[in-house]
Amino acid sequence: MGWKVRAIRGATTAAENSKAAIREAVTELLDELERYNRLDPDDIISITFSVTRDLDAIFPASVARERPLWQNVPLLDVQQMHVEGSLERCIRCLIHINTPDPYVKIHHAYLRQAKHLRPDLSMVDLGMVTIPE
Protein backbone atom coordinates (compact mmCIF):
# COMPACT_ATOMS: atom_id res chain seq x y z
CA MET A 1 0.00 0.00 0.00
CA GLY A 2 1.30 3.49 -0.85
CA TRP A 3 1.53 6.70 1.11
CA LYS A 4 -1.62 8.50 2.23
CA VAL A 5 -2.43 12.12 3.05
CA ARG A 6 -3.85 12.64 6.57
CA ALA A 7 -4.93 15.76 8.43
CA ILE A 8 -4.21 16.73 12.02
CA ARG A 9 -6.17 19.45 13.77
CA GLY A 10 -5.28 21.56 16.73
CA ALA A 11 -6.34 24.68 18.58
CA THR A 12 -5.32 26.69 21.59
CA THR A 13 -5.76 30.13 23.07
CA ALA A 14 -3.31 32.91 23.85
CA ALA A 15 -3.48 34.63 27.22
CA GLU A 16 -3.28 38.03 25.52
CA ASN A 17 -2.50 39.68 22.19
CA SER A 18 1.27 39.86 22.59
CA LYS A 19 4.17 38.28 20.75
CA ALA A 20 5.20 36.39 23.88
CA ALA A 21 1.72 35.00 24.61
CA ILE A 22 1.09 33.94 21.02
CA ARG A 23 4.57 32.41 20.74
CA GLU A 24 4.00 30.44 23.96
CA ALA A 25 0.61 29.14 22.82
CA VAL A 26 1.76 28.16 19.32
CA THR A 27 4.91 26.49 20.65
CA GLU A 28 2.93 24.49 23.21
CA LEU A 29 0.41 23.40 20.56
CA LEU A 30 3.04 22.34 18.03
CA ASP A 31 5.09 20.56 20.73
CA GLU A 32 2.04 18.45 21.62
CA LEU A 33 1.11 17.72 18.02
CA GLU A 34 4.69 16.86 17.11
CA ARG A 35 5.21 14.63 20.15
CA TYR A 36 1.97 12.63 19.99
CA ASN A 37 1.92 12.28 16.20
CA ARG A 38 5.68 11.74 15.83
CA LEU A 39 5.76 14.41 13.14
CA ASP A 40 8.73 14.49 10.81
CA PRO A 41 8.98 17.89 9.08
CA ASP A 42 9.87 16.08 5.84
CA ASP A 43 6.43 14.41 5.90
CA ILE A 44 4.49 17.64 6.47
CA ILE A 45 2.78 18.79 3.28
CA SER A 46 1.61 22.12 4.71
CA ILE A 47 0.17 23.84 7.76
CA THR A 48 -2.56 26.46 7.79
CA PHE A 49 -2.97 28.57 10.91
CA SER A 50 -6.06 30.65 11.59
CA VAL A 51 -6.37 33.24 14.32
CA THR A 52 -9.32 35.18 15.65
CA ARG A 53 -9.45 38.86 14.78
CA ASP A 54 -8.23 39.88 18.25
CA LEU A 55 -4.76 38.35 17.64
CA ASP A 56 -2.42 40.37 15.45
CA ALA A 57 0.86 40.74 17.37
CA ILE A 58 2.74 38.00 15.46
CA PHE A 59 2.05 35.43 12.75
CA PRO A 60 1.79 31.86 14.12
CA ALA A 61 3.62 30.65 11.00
CA SER A 62 6.64 32.74 11.94
CA VAL A 63 6.74 30.92 15.29
CA ALA A 64 6.48 27.53 13.56
CA ARG A 65 9.23 28.47 11.10
CA GLU A 66 11.64 28.86 14.05
CA ARG A 67 11.31 25.17 14.95
CA PRO A 68 14.28 22.94 14.11
CA LEU A 69 14.01 21.56 10.55
CA TRP A 70 10.70 23.37 9.87
CA GLN A 71 12.18 26.08 7.62
CA ASN A 72 11.00 24.30 4.44
CA VAL A 73 7.50 23.44 5.64
CA PRO A 74 4.90 25.45 3.67
CA LEU A 75 3.04 27.60 6.21
CA LEU A 76 0.06 29.94 5.84
CA ASP A 77 -1.72 32.31 8.22
CA VAL A 78 -5.35 33.37 7.76
CA GLN A 79 -7.91 35.18 9.87
CA GLN A 80 -10.69 33.01 11.25
CA MET A 81 -14.20 34.11 10.32
CA HIS A 82 -15.72 36.08 13.20
CA VAL A 83 -18.85 34.65 14.77
CA GLU A 84 -20.45 36.63 17.57
CA GLY A 85 -19.86 34.93 20.92
CA SER A 86 -17.11 32.63 19.64
CA LEU A 87 -13.94 31.80 21.55
CA GLU A 88 -11.55 34.76 21.81
CA ARG A 89 -7.78 34.79 21.22
CA CYS A 90 -8.00 31.41 19.51
CA ILE A 91 -5.31 29.91 17.29
CA ARG A 92 -6.23 26.92 15.13
CA CYS A 93 -4.08 24.81 12.84
CA LEU A 94 -4.64 22.21 10.18
CA ILE A 95 -1.61 20.07 9.33
CA HIS A 96 -1.56 17.87 6.24
CA ILE A 97 0.99 15.05 6.33
CA ASN A 98 2.11 12.17 4.14
CA THR A 99 2.20 8.83 5.95
CA PRO A 100 3.12 5.34 4.80
CA ASP A 101 0.56 3.96 7.28
CA PRO A 102 -3.00 4.87 6.26
CA TYR A 103 -4.28 3.55 9.59
CA VAL A 104 -1.90 5.48 11.83
CA LYS A 105 -3.68 6.89 14.90
CA ILE A 106 -3.98 10.66 14.61
CA HIS A 107 -3.98 12.69 17.82
CA HIS A 108 -5.64 16.10 17.57
CA ALA A 109 -4.81 18.68 20.24
CA TYR A 110 -7.28 21.15 21.69
CA LEU A 111 -5.51 22.96 24.50
CA ARG A 112 -6.28 25.64 27.07
CA GLN A 113 -9.71 27.19 26.49
CA ALA A 114 -9.90 25.62 23.02
CA LYS A 115 -10.46 22.23 24.65
CA HIS A 116 -14.14 23.25 24.84
CA LEU A 117 -14.34 23.47 21.03
CA ARG A 118 -14.00 19.72 20.55
CA PRO A 119 -14.14 17.92 23.89
CA ASP A 120 -14.40 14.62 22.01
CA LEU A 121 -10.92 15.23 20.57
CA SER A 122 -9.31 16.91 23.55
CA MET A 123 -6.00 15.32 24.56
CA VAL A 124 -6.77 16.48 28.09
CA ASP A 125 -9.92 14.37 28.17
CA LEU A 126 -7.99 11.40 26.82
CA GLY A 127 -5.56 11.72 29.73
CA MET A 128 -2.65 12.48 27.39
CA VAL A 129 -1.96 16.07 28.46
CA THR A 130 -2.40 18.12 31.59
CA ILE A 131 -3.03 21.75 30.73
CA PRO A 132 -3.08 24.58 33.27
CA GLU A 133 -6.18 26.79 33.13
Binding site, by residue number, is 9, 92, 110
Distance CA 90, CA 78 (A): 12
Q: Give the span between the Cα atoms of 72 and 57, in whole angstroms.
A: 23
List binding-site positions for prephenate. Answer: 9, 92, 110
- Rounded to 5°, the CA angle 71-18-130 comes to 75
Could you tell me which of 55, 56, 133, 131 has the C-alpha nearest to residue 90? Answer: 55
Rounded CA separation 76/49 (Å): 6
**For residues 70 and 91, what is the distance between their CA atoms, to the nearest angstrom?**
19
